[in-house]
């Protein structure tokens, strides 16, 4: 819920995680009351946006009191220094003991008169003690105001403590979220990018409405040099105004002596200049080499979540929607694009062209605004009155056909499915050579990484599946996120969870040949893995700081969000209730902002069943608390008992809650287990429940096709029965159910509920498995253990585990072909099997891969390696010195980005230390290897011991450069941290990781991904300590 809806800014009401993170914010400047009591400034009067502001209880906000006290950070530093055997700096004499045993004592008979100096010192000491006592006595209930420290008054709010702006004046706002007294109605942006010197200038004209009486306007601006500002009220004259800036919160403000009255309209005009960003956010510069090797430059935008403010001053929060008119000045040989179609182009006297785009026909959040200045070439198609275009650099125009066809079909599908037509006149999909995210759903101008949009005419179906998935996701956002937008980033899942769910739903309907079900199942497994950690978070959770907002872009918001929607859809009666509910939601809130309750209420209101299901009551348990349930099944006669508890992996300092979920428990049994009609449902709302099944039933399989977001434990008898059934007939369960059994039993082993021999007992059947999902899940789990053993230098166990994998899957590996394969599922299976086989140095696989690479090189690249086999072939080639150099040359020449990326992964799989360091540095600099690929490079390097060691050292050495490229908390940084730490399993590594990140302070120490890393190391350590001896025995 938006905290400003309640007009409350009391710090005591902030969520705990927001308070903890605020300890690491840059401390706002404060006025020195002790030195300048008569010069205390006058605060502006309160408006409805603020009530009271309590100072932190952990420190004083008034200088001159307690300056010699050691704060918490200093204590931490001193403790760390002592641990490292270092001497800490001496404290002032005020901290030294006055009762040293080495002080000379006076004879008892003598009573010398104290000196004047001694008396003064003693009196001063007593005054200080008395003062501190009074402060400590009054501080807990004190609120600092301009009149001093007074008793709390429940009826008269006290003044907040304002920070100081860059010019020394008090900044009239003290919170991250903007006040709600002003609402923007429209923006007129006039931008002049200068690509030759990587700068731009602009003018922003904002028309606003006054909602509450106020004496200030507060909005966002970051790294913009504002040269002039004017303000006009209604039809009055424009007057110059002073802009105040508070950089720590990227806010600017205008203060007024007279109140702006509710109902008035006003206009703020701002002239500014800035440098084009060298990171991947805001209005940033990019470059690429054309077919002649010439360097071409361009400028593009990436505003989500908090970077529109880097391109123009704005109210940069999702619920400040407005219309936009955008004008861009460019050179004649460039093209400008924006959200809306081009309205007109004017030639300027200096030879430049000014493009003006139509006013947006919809109200938009600032993060959806976009513009590009580049030399791109389009192909287009009209779809139901919308002009759909795909743009690329001219050299890659031939790779855009598939994206155009896919987008056109998906647009028609969504128009029909949502029963609301796409509202804009055009839909552009633009492939940008240097783009960090996979794609961005800017309304009418969707931007993509080239690998997410462009495919070669000979691309494999698996490569087309990747492109179709991303396009489907971004098109779904045009409704979920753009048409209806979450009110604040705490409900990001309403955007990303829905887009992820619709991505798979639409592809299953429009492109069934892409067999997207295996991928959706796999990402649900990975979401469960992350959500099992104590460092996870609720789907809908409070966020405040920029770092917290960035960290919301994770698998909980995306994949868990999609998973609980799948579970709900599978549970609701009838085929259409879920669809009718989301149509109602979209229609009811078109153009507006929502929260999670709005969605559940819409779904509840269309309940067509006789059960009158309260969707909100059921689903709140899945969105308001982190984690998911472990469902344990036991049987006695004809009674089946199911219990639930929080599936929480971590035992260290974890809060074991009595969380309960409203679980739609689905199940099948040995009498009917495959068809959807076999599915039965039991709703578990309490800690335990029971239902009847015939005593003759041999086994139960819970969570049919893994549509529920929970893990199941069957007990020894249940696992034995299922394992025996699979050994007798592998097809007794669907492949989704077989894959979920494999995932669940490995998860239970990690939890400590089942022994590892129980895991291997279930895998006894795997030699007969031929379907993609069970095989790929088993390979992933076994490879994870193999890598842990490898990093621990348990070479004997490593050799035994390799033999075990080859023994179980060797027959299926040998059956794989090396020619073109059109079936997506078979490609996924073959790719996983052969990549594993070659990584294990299976001779047959290695020889085939070497032969294919030689054929590829000898033909000058004209002999094509099947797309799903390229990674395996390039990995093998990179282990040879000569072939590594050949692969590097090919990497610089190949034009097709998907193939280029596989070559990069191959190059990064080398064991050569010099090459490892070179690849890391080249990725960071971005000269030969684009910096957008650094997370991929690090992930690949960390799969082998040499690269793993170098990568962790690299992260520590270059952390400051990394956070220049990737914002603190961002997904790329999360990925880098996970890759470099997730295979550590010793106390020494835990201490090293903890020490490094704790020293970063505001540069990253409080990231959730850091807590996840430390938690994962502890879990690895615990699992290895428990299972090493077991593995030695079993293997």
Give catalytic residues, as residue numbers: 474
Longest dimension (CA), the chain: 109
Picking from 482, 189, 489, 183, the residue whose alpha carbon sits closest to that of residue 362 is 482
In terms of Cβ atoms closer than 10 Å to its own Cβ (0-12, 13-18, 19+), residue 98 is exposed
Count of C-beta atoms within a 10 Å radius of residue 1030: 14
**For residues 711 and 747, is the Cβ–Cβ distance under 8 A?**
yes
Picking from 251, 266, 270, 267, the residue whose alpha carbon sits closest to that of residue 203 is 270
Question: What backbone torsions phi and psi does residue 969 show, to the nearest 5 degrees?
Answer: 95, -10
DSSP string, 907-918: HHT---HHHHHH
How far apart CA 514 and CA 822 sit, in angstroms, is 10
Start-end of H helices in 606-714: 615-623
Q: What's the CA dihedral at 41, 47, 49, 51 to 10 degrees?
A: 70
End-to-end CA distance of the chain: 53
How far apart CA 748 and CA 635 sit, in angstroms, is 19
DSSP string, 223-291: S-EEEEEEEEETTS--EE-PPEEEGGGTEEEEEEEEEEPTT-EEEEEEEEEEEPBSSSSEEEEEEEE-T
**For residues 47 and 168, is the Cβ–Cβ distance under 8 A?**
no
How far apart CA 943 and CA 949 sit, in angstroms, is 10
Note if the bond before 305 is cis, omega within 30 degrees. yes
Which residue in this structure is represented by tokens 């109602």?
584
DSSP string, 377-433: EEEEEEETTEEEEEEE-GGGGGG-HHHHHHHHHHHHHHHHHHTS---SSEEEEEEES
How far apart CA 213 and CA 175 sit, in angstroms, is 19
Structure token pair of residue 373: 């200045």
Picking from 452, 477, 469, the residue whose alpha carbon sits closest to that of residue 522 is 469
How far apart CA 306 and CA 320 sit, in angstroms, is 13
Strand partners, 781: none
Axis crossing angle, helix 517-531 with helix 561-571, rounded to the nearest 10 = 120
Helix (H) or strand (E) holding 205: strand 199-210
How far apart CA 479 and CA 477 sit, in angstroms, is 5
Picking from 594, 588, 528, 592, the residue whose alpha carbon sits closest to that of residue 560 is 528
How far apart CA 868 and CA 823 sit, in angstroms, is 11
Count of C-beta atoms within a 10 Å radius of residue 833: 23
How far apart CA 390 and CA 445 sit, in angstroms, is 10
Residues with Cβ within 8 Å of 481's Cβ and at least 6 positions away in sequence, in order, are 368, 441, 494, 495, 496, 498, 499
Question: What backbone torsions phi and psi does residue 24 show, to the nearest 5 degrees?
Answer: -105, 5
- Across 290-425, where does the E strand assignment appear? 295-302, 323-330, 335-338, 342-347, 353-357, 371-374, 377-383, 386-392
DSSP string, 879-922: TSHHHHHHHHHHHHH---HHHHHHHHHHHHT---HHHHHHHHHH
How far apart CA 360 and CA 766 sit, in angstroms, is 57
Structure token pair of residue 780: 């992933």
């Amino acid at each position: 819920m938006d905290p400003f809806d309640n007009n409350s800014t009391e710090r005591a009401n902030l969520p705990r995680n927001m308070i903890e993170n605020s300890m690491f914010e840059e401390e706002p400047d404060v006025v020195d009351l002790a030195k300048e009591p008569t010069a205390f400034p006058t605060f502006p009067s309160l408006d409805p946006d603020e009530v009271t502001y309590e100072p932190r209880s952990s420190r004083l906000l008034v200088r001159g009191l307690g300056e010699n006290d050691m704060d918490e950070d200093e204590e931490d530093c001193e403790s760390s220094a002592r641990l490292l055997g270092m001497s800490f700096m001496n404290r002032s004499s005020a901290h030294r003991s006055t009762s040293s045993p080495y002080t000379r004592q006076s004879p008892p008979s003598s009573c010398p008169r104290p000196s004047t100096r001694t008396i003064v010192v003693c009196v001063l000491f007593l005054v200080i003690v008395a003062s501190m006592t009074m402060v400590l006595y009054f501080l807990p209930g004190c609120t600092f105001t301009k009149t001093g420290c007074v008793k709390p008054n429940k009826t008269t709010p006290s003044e907040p403590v304002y920070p100081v702006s860059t010019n020394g004046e008090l900044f009239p706002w003290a919170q991250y979220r903007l006040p709600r007294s002003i609402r923007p109605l429209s923006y007129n942006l006039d931008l002049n990018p200068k690509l030759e010197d990587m700068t731009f200038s602009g003018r922003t004209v904002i028309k606003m409405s006054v909602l509450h009486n106020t004496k200030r306007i507060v909005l966002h601006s970051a790294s913009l040099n504002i040269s002039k500002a004017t303000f006009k009220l209604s039809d009055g004259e424009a007057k110059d105004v002073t802009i105040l800036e508070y950089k720590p919160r990227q806010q600017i403000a205008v203060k007024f002596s007279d109140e702006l009255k509710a109902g008035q309209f006003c206009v703020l005009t701002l002239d500014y200049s800035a440098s084009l960003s060298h990171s991947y956010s805001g209005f940033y510069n990019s470059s690429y080499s054309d077919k002649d090797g010439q360097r071409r430059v361009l400028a593009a935008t990436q505003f989500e979540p908090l970077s529109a403010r880097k391109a123009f001053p704005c109210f940069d929060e999702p619920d400040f929607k407005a219309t936009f008119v955008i004008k861009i000045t460019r050179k004649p040989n460039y093209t400008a694009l924006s959200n809306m179609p081009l309205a007109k182009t004017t030639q300027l006297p200096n030879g430049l062209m000014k493009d003006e785009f139509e006013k947006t026909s919809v109200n938009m959040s600032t993060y959806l605004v976009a513009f590009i200045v580049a030399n791109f070439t389009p192909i287009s198609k009209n779809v139901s009155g919308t002009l759909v275009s795909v743009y690329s650099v001219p050299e890659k125009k031939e790779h855009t056909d598939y994206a155009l066809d896919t987008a056109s079909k998906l647009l028609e599908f969504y128009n029909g499915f949502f029963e609301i037509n796409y509202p804009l006149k055009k839909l552009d999909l633009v492939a940008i050579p240097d783009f960090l995210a996979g794609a961005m759903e800017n309304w009418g101008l969707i931007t993509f990484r080239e690998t997410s949009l462009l495919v070669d005419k000979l691309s494999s179906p698996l490569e087309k599946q990747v492109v179709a998935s991303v396009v489907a996701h971004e098109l779904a956002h045009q409704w979920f996120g753009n048409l209806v937008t979450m009110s604040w980033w705490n409900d990001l899942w309403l955007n990303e969870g829905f887009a992820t769910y619709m991505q798979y739903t639409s592809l299953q309907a429009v492109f069934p040949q892409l067999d997207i079900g295996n991928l959706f199942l796999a990402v649900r497994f990975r979401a469960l893995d992350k959500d099992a950690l104590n460092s996870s978070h609720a789907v809908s959770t409070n966020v405040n700081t920029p770092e917290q907002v960035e960290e919301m872009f994770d698998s909980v918001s995306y994949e868990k969000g999609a998973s609980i929607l799948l579970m709900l859809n599978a549970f609701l009666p009838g085929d259409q209730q879920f669809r009718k509910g989301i149509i109602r939601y979209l229609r009811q809130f078109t153009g507006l902002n929502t929260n999670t309750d709005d969605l559940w209420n819409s779904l509840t209101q269309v309940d067509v069943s006789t059960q009158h299901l309260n969707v909100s009551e059921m689903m709140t348990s899945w969105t308001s608390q982190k984690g998911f349930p472990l469902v344990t099944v036991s049987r006695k006669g004809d009674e089946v008992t199911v219990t639930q508890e929080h599936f929480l992996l971590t035992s260290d300092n974890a809060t074991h809650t009595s969380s309960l979920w409203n679980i739609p428990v689905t199940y099948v049994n040995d009498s009917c287990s495959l068809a959807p009609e076999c599915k039965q449902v039991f709703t578990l709302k309490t800690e335990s429940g029971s239902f009847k099944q015939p005593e003759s039933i041999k086994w139960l399989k819970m969570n049919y096709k893994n549509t529920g977001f929970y893990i199941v434990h069957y007990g020894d008898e249940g696992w034995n029965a299922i394992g025996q059934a699979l050994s007798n007939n592998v097809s007794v369960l669907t492949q989704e159910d077989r894959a979920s059994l494999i995932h669940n039993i490995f998860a239970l082993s990690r939890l400590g509920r089942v022994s590892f021999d129980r895991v291997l007992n279930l895998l006894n059947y795997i030699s007969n498995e031929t379907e993609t999902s069970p095989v790929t899940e088993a390979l992933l789990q076994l490879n994870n253990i193999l890598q842990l053993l490898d990093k621990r230098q348990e070479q004997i166990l490593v050799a035994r585990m390799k033999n075990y994998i080859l023994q179980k899957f060797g027959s299926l590996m040998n059956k794989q072909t090396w020619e073109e394969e059109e079936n997506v599922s078979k490609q996924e299976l073959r790719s996983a099997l052969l990549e594993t086989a070659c990584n294990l140095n299976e001779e047959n696989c290695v020889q085939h891969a070497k032969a294919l690479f030689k054929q590829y090189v000898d033909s000058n690249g004209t002999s094509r390696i099947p797309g799903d086999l390229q990674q395996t072939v390039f990995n093998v080639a990179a282990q040879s010195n000569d072939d590594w150099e050949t692969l590097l040359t090919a990497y610089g020449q190949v034009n097709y980005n998907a193939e280029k990326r596989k070559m990069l992964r191959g190059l990064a799989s080398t064991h050569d230390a010099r090459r490892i360091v070179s690849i890391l540095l080249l990725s960071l600099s971005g000269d030969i290897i684009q910096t957008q690929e650094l997370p991929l490079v690090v992930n690949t390097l960390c799969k082998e011991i040499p690269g793993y060691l170098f990568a962790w050292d690299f992260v520590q050495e270059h952390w400051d450069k990394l956070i220049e490229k990737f914002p603190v908390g961002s997904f790329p940084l999360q990925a880098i941290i996970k890759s470099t730490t997730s295979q550590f399993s010793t106390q020494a590594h835990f201490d090293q990781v903890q020490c490094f990140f704790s020293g970063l302070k505001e540069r990253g120490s409080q990231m959730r991904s850091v807590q996840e890393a430390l938690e994962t190391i502890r879990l690895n350590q615990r699992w290895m300590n428990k299972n090493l001896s077991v593995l030695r025995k079993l293997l």
